[in-house]
Every structure is written in structure tokens, then in C-alpha cells.
Amino acid sequence: MKQRKLGKSNLEVSAIGLGCMGLSFGFGPAVDKKEGISLIRAAVERGVTFFDTAEVYGPFTNEQLVGEALAPFRGQVVIATKFGWAPNPEDEGKWTALDSRPEHIKEAAEGSLKRLKTDVIDLYYQHRVDPNVPIEDVAGAMKELIQQGKVKHFGLSEAGVQTIRRANAVQLVTALQSEYSLWWREPEKEILPALEELGIGFVPFSPLGKGFLTGKINEETKFDKTDFRNIVPRFTPENRRANQALVDLLSKIAERKKATPAQIALAWILAQKPWMVPIPGTTKLHRLEENIGAAAIELTPDDLRQIDSATSKIPVQGARYPENLQKLVNR
């Protein structure tokens, strides 16, 4: 697979990574451990070198899975994980509290290193900006971890432009991870120009719109009771019906390109900037292969103009997060 560099950091990864969250958490029941290991290793065999996890996925179980799966290939792959959540005593101990105090970051790093079976975290993201801790303190803690050789690169997730600038002034930020896809283009307004100016890479999560842009979800689709999409406004049956027009458009282009809607959605991201690396997640081998296939699809300037022109006429219905989670982004 083609390689890409995340910003000016020289961190080189495969053009498409693998978001591992869904193997353990978020989109229904966790997969069997052997199946999860097998899928991650299949990705390595097919040229994927960039794997994304987080302490909170599980919590802990996703990092353990990724660590075990990648142990034999450690020198060939880049592992990204995240810190910043903690158990909330007011919420039955669920991991819904933010905690980016420097001492907590250092503790979290030690735990992640053990679970990932490694002596260094390649890319360590603050999972969400903590309003109670100045971002300069977070970046300072990251600088120390980098100096100690425990972390190679500092990342932020869902941070706003001013936070990115302030963090980058203390410790260079290698990558920002935020949601971005043909049905969530908000980062284009302020975030992407700032990243380009600062030389920071961009890692879009949910590049397939949490599965919607694959064309395999419609208004009739029923999600497992543990599936996060049950509480996402954009996934109410009426909004799914309204948003189907976007999938229909992708399907038409896909037919012309002898590809799938998912491949067109990923190829569109790859065509935006050379420093963008999407991390679609999946639990199925055939989907993994389909996603990887997107790296070989070339969209011409004319294709991109047509997609932009057509999508500008399709207003996407529904918020991407429920209100309590929406307030945690772009701080």
C-alpha cells in the first residue's frame, strides 16, 4: 500500500489505517478475541501499518487486543492510542469523566505501554480537551514523555483551532484526529487550513459516516442495544431516510468507477490532502479488503468537482452527536 506522512513530522504510515475500536466497543458486542487478532494481523499482511486504539475502548480491552495482535510485527507498525478519560464516581463509575492532569497522563501512559506490549507509544492523543487543565500543561507532560522515550509523537482529538495552536507552541503536534467524511465536512472551515499552516497531519475517524456511507444501512436497519448509533440523532430512522440521497450519489459514482460506495467515500478523503490518513474500522475481513482497495482508486479533478457539486445540494439531516457529547468537541 502507498505510504503517507502525517504533516511535517516524518511519521510515515499506510495511506489507510485501521480503527480498532469497534472490535471491542461502541458498535455492538465485542468480537471473539481470536477473531479480533486474526483481523488485525490480516490488515498487517495486506499492507496496513497504522493502528488506532484508546485506553477507554473497553476500557482497556481494545489496547490489550491490539497489543497482542501486533506484538510479532511491532517494528513494522505504528500504534496510536489515547488518554484523557477516567471513571466518573457520579456516573456509576463509568468512564465518562475527563482527566488530563499531567500526573494522570503519565499513569495512563504506563498502563497503555503494558497493555500494548511495547516500550514506546508511536502516537499519543489527548482523547478530548479537558477544560479543567490548561492545554499547555498537557503538552508539557507530553514533552516529558517524549524526552523519556516513552512516546514518539503527540496528537490531539476533536480539538479546536486555538487549542491546537497553544499546544503546538509547547510541543509540536504531529496529528489531529477528528471526524471527517462526505457527511461531516465541518473541519474544512477552520481546522484544515490551520493544520496545513502548522504542518500537522489529519486522521479522519468515521470516514464512512459510522457505516452509513457504505450503503449497507437504511431506515429499516436495527442496531444492537449496545450500539452507540442508537443515541446519535443522525441515525434516527427519519434522518437515515433523508440522508439516503448521499449514499445514492456515492453508489452512482461507484458504479462508474467499478468500485463500492465505501471505496469512493475513502478515495474522496485521500484526494483532499496528501497528509490525511483515514482510519475506517471493521470487524469483517471482506470489509477490510474493500476499505484497503480504496487506496488504489484515483478520483480525477472532474470526479471531485462532480462530487462537491452534487453533495452541496444534499443537506445532511441530524446532529452527529447527542448534545452532551457535542459539547466536548472543538474546544
- Strand-pairing partners, residue 303, are none
Of 57, 124, 125, 180, which is the active-site residue?
A: 57
Q: What is the dihedral of CA 81, 59, 87, 147, to 10 degrees?
A: -20
Q: Are strands 50-52 and 78-83 parallel, antiparallel or unpaired?
A: parallel
When computed from its CA atoms, the radius of gyration of the chain, rounded to whole angstroms, is 19
Question: Residues 6 or more apart from 173 whose CB is under 8 A from it?
Answer: 139, 154, 155, 156, 164, 167, 198, 200
C-alpha cell, 155: 496528537
Task: Give the torsion sign (CA, 49, 20, 206, 198).
Answer: negative
In the block, cell 508539557 appears at: 140
CA–CA dist 198, 178 (Å, integer)? 16
Helix (H) or strand (E) holding 97: strand 97-98
- Helix axis angle for 135-147 and 102-115, nearest 10°, is 40
Give the Cα-Cα-Cα angle 198, 125, 159 (nearest 5 degrees).
55
Q: Which candidate, 120, 121, 116, 123, places its Cα nearest to that of 17? A: 123
Q: How many angstroms separate the CA atoms of 9 and 171, rounded?
A: 12
Residue 57: active-site member: yes
CB 171 within 8 A of CB 154: yes
- Report how far residue 44's alpha carbon sits from residue 41's, in angstroms, rounded to the nearest whole number: 5
Indicate which residues carry an active-site annotation: 57
